[in-house]
Every structure is written in C-alpha cells, then in structure tokens.
Structure 1
Amino acid sequence: MEFTRRQFVAVAGLSAFAGCTSDPDRNSERDPATTAGSSDIGSTSVADGAVPTADETLKLPMEPSDLESLAVSGGPPKDGIPSIDDPSFVGPDGVDFLDPGDPVFGVALNGDVKAYPQKILVQHEIVNDRLGDRSVAVTYCPLTGTVQGFERGQTTFGVSGRLINNNLVMYDRATETWWPQILATSIPGPWNSAPGTRSLREFRLVWTTWEQWRGLYPNTQVLSTETGFANNYGRDPYGSYNPRSGYYTSENTLFETLEEDDRFSRKRVFMGARTADGAVAFDKSTLLEKRILTGELSETPIVAVADQRLNTGYVYLNPDERTVTTDGNRVLVGDSSYEPNALPLTGIHTFDAMWFAWHGYYPETNVYA
C-alpha cells in the first residue's frame, strides 16, 4: 500500500509541519557509545575538495544509474524537510520534553557526548553538527528506522526530497551528489557535479532510550527544541515509539520496496552490518535475549554481542573463531574481559534497520534470528 508522506499525515489526522509535510580510549576500553567498526573520525581522504570519503567503497545492490532511476518524490521538494544547520544543546537538567522511554540517538566521540531525540529528528532528518573539532552529519530516516552518522568535512548535507526503498536520499551541498542513507555510497543525482562512486566515512550512533542514555552519561548534552523552526516536537506524524504505534507497527510502507521477503514482519528491527564483501543481519530482540550470536559474512566467521545497558549490539569479525561468552555486562574473549564495544576483534559498522529496508538493499544478506 503506497501513499505520499503528505497523504500519510492527512490519513493519520495529524497537523502539517515544516518537514515531512512541506574517540577517546578510557583505560584501554572505548566508550560504550563509540561503536566497534565505525570509521574513526580522524584523517580522511577528501573528494572534490569538500566531501570526506572512506578508503573502501561499499558495494551497491545495482548500478548507480539504476538506483537513481528508482528514486521517487516523497512529497516535499529539495530542502522541503529542513536540515538543522545551527544546532543548540542543553544539559540533561534542562530537558523537559523527553519521557524516560523516548528514543534518542546517542554518541560519545571525539570528546563530545550528545543525544539527538528522535522526536526532533523525525521532523528534520539531518543535523549538521560538530563532534569536537570534526564536522559531522547526524541523519535519521523515519520510514526505515535508520540513524547514521557521517563525516561531512567542508560541506553540509540536506534532504533531497527523494526516496529509494523508502529510505532518505541525502545530498551534499558542495557537489550536489545524491547519497542514499543506508548505502552511504554516492549515486549521480540530477544536480551532481562530481561523478564517480564513493562511500562516506561513517560513525555509530546508538539507538537507545533517554533513561538508558542519561543513566550511562549523566552529563550528556541534548539537542534542543530551539531549532529555529516553529515545529511541534511533541507530535510524531508517523505514530509513536513510546508506546510504539502507527507506521512503526503497521505492515504497510508508504512507497514501493526494492525486494519482498515474508520471513519476518516488515518493521521488525534487525542490526545490520556490511562491508565491501557482503552484509549480515541479526534480529535485535534475539541478540538482546541471547547476548551472543554467531554467523558468517562472506565465509568469514563473525560474532554479535549485546550491550544491555543501552539495548544495542556490536558485530565483529572472528576469523580465528575465538571463544566469546558473557559475564554480566562484560564480554569474555578467552579469559579476558571487555566492554561489549571494545573486543580485541575487528569491528564492523552496525546499525538498526527495519527488515524490509535492510533486505531491500541487501537481498543476499545472511540472516540470524
């Protein structure tokens, strides 16, 4: 069943708003919000003098031009969903707009600890910010349940007004290249001045709750509702996460999906991880319950570990098949104990995604549920 985003808001009976309707080590252990497998925010290669790109280019599910041809209008035009380009933050004692169970996207990296509330990002999708001395973009797509962090260098990112696989298509304001958010890899776009395919440098944001994040980071900074836009941040046009309702529980998507797979409900949350060699998905609820799951990515053994403090998980390559077990909130590799995000293994960038969105982009993914 397909609607435009404007139609969905009208059907839901909600008012229109500007947006969808118009690394530091610590005692040899990384911060729990700094993911294993994230591209460290540090030295970069810079494409076209402005956009930092990764050394390794991720594989696309089809030719870039074919992906571009599948882009559909989400309703609002280019920048009709306005990015936040001058964000302000408040301390935890100044937060009166979040309930304990409200989702936030947390990061502790490069000397900064910040939380970005879902109820703000659902109306803007991109926050152009800084973590320490590095320029970054925090991006969220409500239709696919994906939050991704990218280094942005000398430019900013905006919302193109297009969707592929129901997923946000960003553009950078230096070259006007299109960047599908989940893929983190460029496709041409109609305004592109920098041809070629390359991938962005990513960093991890943890999808957790305000209660959990504040409990672990009592001095966190929080994105303020003083965004410069007259939006009602108490109302989500798609439904609710606290409690979960509306679009987030329905089997309907607003636009066509790239692939169909009925093994799982469309909105079931998986923790997806991908490299240039392949992709893998772990059912999030199963991982949180069992604490340790094993699998393979392109015939290389991998292990996923849960971090119950923040209700998240991390994925590692484990080519030597080292024994990994749990010990309370810590993880044992052999006889040594580690934080879940700091195992002595090679981490793979991992993030939450709705099943239909992950499978649509990675139909050959290995799945562990």
Structure 2
Amino acid sequence: MRRRRYLAALGLAGATGLAGCAGYVGSTAEETPTRSPSSEPVQVGDVTLPVDRSELFTALHRDGIPAITDPAFGADWTDWSAVAVEHRPPAAERPTLPDEFAVVGVERGGEARAYPLAVLDWHEVVNDVFEPPSTARRPTADGALGGALLVTYCPLCGSGVVAERVVDGEPTTFGVSGMLWRDDLVLYDRATDSLWSQLLATAIRGPKTGTQLRLVPSTLSSWGEWRTAHPETRVLLPPPGSVAVDGRRGQVRDYGDSKYGYETQSQLVGFDSDGEGLGERTLVAGVDHEGVARAYPFPVVRGEDVVNDRVGGLPVVVALAPGGTLVAYDRRVDGGTLRFEAADDRHLCAGGSRWERTTGRAADGPYDGARLAPTAAHTAMFWSAWVAFHPDTTVYGR
C-alpha cells in the first residue's frame, strides 16, 4: 500500500504535548541493557538530557496516584487465598474481572502474570518480584538481575511498558511523580529521587540522568485470551489485596469503573479505532528499527487481518489478536524469513505451522514449540503517544 509521512497532514507537529523527541529505548525483542549516566549532557535519539524543568507539567502531588508496592496475585479475582484473612473484603464486595477486560501480560522464567488495566488505571505503577525474595537478585542467562519487575501503564498514552526495576545493581522502588512529560507518565525512584520517562524507560532528570532500564517484553491482551493462552497465569488483585505506596491498602472501589471515563474499560481499541481515520486514541502497533519508525493503525490492520512488512530492514508481521488488540512480531525464525497468512481467529499460518496470535508460539507443524520474537518491549498504544515520541514516523496504509 501507498505510504507517506503523516505528521504534517494531521497537523500534530505543534500540538501540546506532541513536540518531537526520541524513539523508544530498545525497539527489538531483546531486553535492553542498563546504561550508566554521564556527567555530560546525554543524547537519547534526538532528546538531550536532562530535560528542562519547564518541559514537565505537574498534574498532581507526588504519590497522588498511589503506586502498588506489595502486589498480591490469584488465579482470578475470586481467588484471594494469598491475602491475609483480615484484608479480604466480603465476597459480595469483591470486584469481578470480565474476560473482555484488558491486561498487560508478562512471561518470564516460565511464569505468566497478568496486570489488568482496571487496576493500572488507578495506580499506574506496580513494583513486583517475579521470583521469591531469596532469588530476586539471581543473574539471568544474559547477566541481568531477575525478579525485580516494574510494570507501568499510562492511561493518557495507552502505553504499557515493563522493565527490571534495578538501578546500580540494586532493586529499586518506583512511584508516580505526579508530573507529565509530553503527556506521558513520569516516575521517580526512591533510591535517588531521579525522574524517569515511562516511554523512554530512561532517567530524564536527577542523579541517574541517562540511565536506561532493561526492558522486558509485554503483551496487551484481553483477560480471557491471556488466560486461554496461559492457563496457569496469576493475575494482579486490586487493593485491599495488593498494597499501595506507604502501606495503604486503599478503599474497596469498583475497579470496573474507568477512572478516565472511557467508553469501555477494556480499552483494547481506544475511542477512534472503530472509524477509518487516525485519531489521537486510535490504537497503533509501533515498530522502530535502525532509525525507521512505522505505525500500524488498528483500522488498517483490521481490514487486512495480517500484514507482512519490513521496517528498516526488519521483517515484521502485524496482526489482529483475539480480544481486539494488535500484535507485531519479527518474521525471522531459524535463520529464515516466513510469510504469514490468517489461519483462523486465534492463529496465523506460515512454514506449515499454525502460530498463536496472542503469544507468537507455534502450536503444531515443523516449527512446533518455536516462538516469534515481539518487535518491541512495549505494548500497542494510542497514536498520539507514538507520534509524540516518533515525529518522523510513517503510517502503514497511508
């Protein structure tokens, strides 16, 4: 399809919060190593750090949105067995988690966890440990410190970013600063009080300026589809099961009621994805490789179902996943490049195998058990967020 630069046509270049800046740290599936800060100004893409204080917008006081610091998990939201009896609300007051609600899914070390947007809407940051505390600092195969995990979600951008919450070799607790940078969540860390951009996964002000967190791939999915693909998954329980910052368990609230007035709590496709245009809240799968960025809008991918493309030399497949979200994978497997077609609503097909759309895993055939690498460690997000951090992006199908 014909593609062209779309920024000027949409008139977004001068919009508030959409000034141009760098692309994501670590746009490939591999986890990105931590980068040490420098005493000199640091360049990340076309952003010079530290950012000027005038670029930060203070929306709330620090911890006005309470990060979760002690998460609890269950098989679903009816399972509160991991929570002390005195902190379990009566069964009639416990929220429910419908299959269509969206979750940020993470797989690590053979374990799967789901973090519902119904909780992340209200808390935005989860400080998790994927392994028991005694092994949380055990090096992984690539030398990284496993276990200490940071799960973030910015409702304004629709962006989920997951990283290791390790700074200077030590697990660190993160919170919500109350500030926005280019309409995106800004975090702070308790160890150094530095400010961190969610989308860049980088410290943008403070002692750790220029330090980059190691990113961990994540998936945006519906709870029902994630659970089908990962039958043993655990799911984050809302407060008072999970504990927020400063030991606050929070009130029992209706976590099915969107804090931001979205039409549907599932938020899988955003406000504008049902139309044919490209609105600020149109969901896009973004790919950034070798200095080339491309957005794949939900309406376009929905029309084609499966898109085989190349971005900066990277062969990618972008597809609609069950539950109504977007996935993007590297098409290279075992030294070859596959071309994908639709098999059914839950599978793609290539090389004689069927591949699960949600996980990228081959379910049968010659590649049975193999897995496609995601093209990025972040989830699909709103168009406004992608173009703010990739002002020179092209748009597939435009």
Q: How high is the TM-score relative to the length of structure 1?
A: 0.72
Query: Could you list the per-position Cα deviations for residues 134-189 of structure 1 after superposition, in whole angstroms to 9, with x for gaps in the alignment?
Result: 1101101011111111111211211111112211011222233322111223312x
Matches within 5 A, 1:32-111: 37-40=28-31, 45=34, 47=36, 59-66=44-51, 69-74=54-59, 76-92=60-76, 94=78, 96-111=95-110
Paired residues for 1:24-35 under 5 Å: none
1:103-150: per-residue Cα shift (whole Å, max 9, x none)? 222222223222112121111100000223411011010111111111
SS state of the match for residue 203, structure 1? coil
Aligned residue type for 2:45: L
Q: Give the alignment partner of residue 229 of structure 1, picking from 241, 250, 257.
A: 250
Report what 1:183 is aligned to: 200
What is the identity percentage for the equivalent residue pairs of Structure 1 and Structure 2?
Answer: 27
Q: Distance in 1 between matches of 2:339 and 2:317?
A: 12
SS at match of 1:315: strand
d(CA) in 2 for partners of 1:334, 1:292: 15
Q: Give me the whole-angstrom Cα distance separating, in 2, the residues matched to 1:163 and 1:185.
A: 14
Aligned-pair Cα RMSD in Å: 3.5
5+ residue gaps, structure 2: 1-14, 17-26, 80-94, 137-146, 243-248, 362-369
Shift of 1:344: 7.3
Take 1:332 and 1:67, find their aligned partners in 2: how far apart are those partners?
A: 49
CA distance in 1: counterparts of 2:96 and 2:291, whole angstroms: 42
Say which of 274, 284, 287 aligns to 1:273.
287
Q: Larger Rg: 1 or 2?
A: 2
Superposition deviation, residue 101 in structure 1: 1.9
The DSSP-based 3-state class of the residue aligned with 2:228 is helix
CA distance 1:346–1:352, shift in 2 (3 Å): closer
Deviations 1:245-269 (A, max 9, x none): 9xx6389xxxxxxxxxxx7211101
1:132-171 to 2 correspondences below 5 Å: 132=131, 133=136, 134-153=147-166, 154-171=171-188
1:348 alignment partner in structure 2 = 375
Corresponding position: 1:327 with 2:343? yes
Kindly indicate whether the alpha-carbon contact (under 8 Å) linking 2:329 and 2:372 is maintained by their aligned counterparts in 1. no
Offset, 1:345: 6.8
CA shift, 1:216, in A, is 2.8
User: How far off is 1:346 after superposition?
Assistant: 6.0
Change (3 A) 1:281 1:92: same
Amino acid at match of 1:39: E
Count of residues paired in the alignment = 308
Change over 3 Å in CA distance of 1:322–1:221 after alignment to 2: closer
Does the aligned pair in 1 maintain the 2:319–2:326 contact within 8 Å? yes
Which amino acid in structure 2 is aligned with residue 362 of structure 1?
H
Distance 2:204 2:391 in 1: 19
Partners of 1:92 and 1:125 in 2: CA distance: 20
SS at match of 2:45: coil
Instruction: Give the Cα–Cα distance (whole angstroms) in 1 for the partners of residues 309 and 50 of structure 2.
Output: 33
In structure 1, distance between residues paired with 2:337 and 2:66: 46
Q: Is the 8 A contact 1:297 1:366 kept in 2?
A: no
SS at match of 1:123: helix
User: Aligned-pair distance for 1:203?
Assistant: 1.7
Post-superposition offset of 1:242: 2.6
1:362 to 1:80, Cα distance in 2 relative to 1, 3 A: same
Q: Quick check: 1:206–1:312 contact (8 Å CA) kept in 2?
A: no
